[in-house]
């Protein structure tokens, strides 16, 4: 197929972006830089396995679309966390407590509990199982503060709650986690 004369005349728009536009990344760049944690957060925030692909795709399309609104108040990463969080919430609501994650259906007691030879898969299952058992408020704080290691002000910003709320939920959920660990360790010990 021949290129029309006008097309030959005009370079690809991409080669012609004004300097100002160069600071705004395209979707490919955003994806490369942020895919891992977006995926991880979408999964751990309780998006059903069947919807994780959709949720992650939504996150990137939203981030790209709203990039011009990004004000730089928080870091880009925190901003993307916030979008991921909201998207995950939507997908969670949509799936209305559907429990289709096969990972979670496997009873914890069947495998060896968390111990020295703990495999990643088992650790993942343990944590997912734990997250499944706590309230959404505690889980969100646990995922962002403990798993993702964001600081408390960032978590407050993302969740849209007061800093003190983050601290108190964090205390509670850490205690829950420790208790779950103790139970698992005790089970391990009694074998």
Q: Which residues make up the interface to other proteins (CB under 8 A)?
A: 1-10, 12-14, 16-18, 20-22, 24-28, 31, 35-36, 39-40, 43-44, 53, 56-57, 60-61, 64-65, 67-68, 114-116, 118-128, 146-147, 177-178, 181-182, 185
Smaller CB distance to other proteins: residue 82 or 146? 146
Q: How far apart are the first and last CA of the chain?
A: 72
Q: Can you tell me which residue has the tokens 């360790």?
A: 185
Separation of alpha carbons 110 and 144, rounded Å? 29
- Report in angstroms how near the CB of residue 190 gets to other proteins at its nearest: 13
- Report in angstroms how near the CB of residue 162 gets to other proteins at its nearest: 26
Q: Specify burial of residue 143 (Cβ count, 10 A radius: 0-12, 13-18, 19+).
A: buried
Mention every residue, 6+ apart, whose C-beta is less than 8 A from residue 144: 41, 81, 85, 150, 154, 155, 158, 159
Smaller CB distance to other proteins: residue 127 or 159? 127
- Report in angstroms how near the CB of residue 79 gets to other proteins at its nearest: 13
């Amino acid at each position: 197929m021949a290129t029309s004369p006008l097309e030959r005349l005009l370079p690809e728009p991409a080669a012609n972006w004004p300097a100002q536009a160069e600071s705004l990344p395209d979707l490919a760049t955003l994806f490369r830089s942020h895919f891992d944690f977006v995926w991880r957060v979408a999964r751990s925030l309780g998006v059903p396995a069947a919807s994780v692909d959709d949720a992650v795709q939504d996150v990137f399309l939203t981030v790209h679309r709203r990039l011009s609104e990004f004000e730089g108040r928080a870091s880009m990463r925190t901003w993307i966390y916030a979008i991921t969080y909201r998207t995950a919430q939507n997908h969670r609501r949509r799936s209305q407590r559907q429990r289709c994650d096969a990972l979670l259906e496997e009873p914890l007691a069947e495998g060896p509990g968390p111990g020295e030879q703990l495999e990643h898969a088992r650790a993942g299952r343990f944590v997912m199982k734990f997250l499944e058992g706590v309230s959404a408020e505690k889980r969100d704080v646990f995922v962002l503060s403990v798993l993702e290691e964001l600081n408390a002000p960032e978590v407050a910003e993302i969740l849209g709650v007061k800093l003190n709320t983050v601290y108190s939920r964090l205390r509670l959920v850490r205690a829950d986690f420790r208790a779950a660990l103790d139970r698992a360790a005790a089970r391990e010990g009694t074998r």
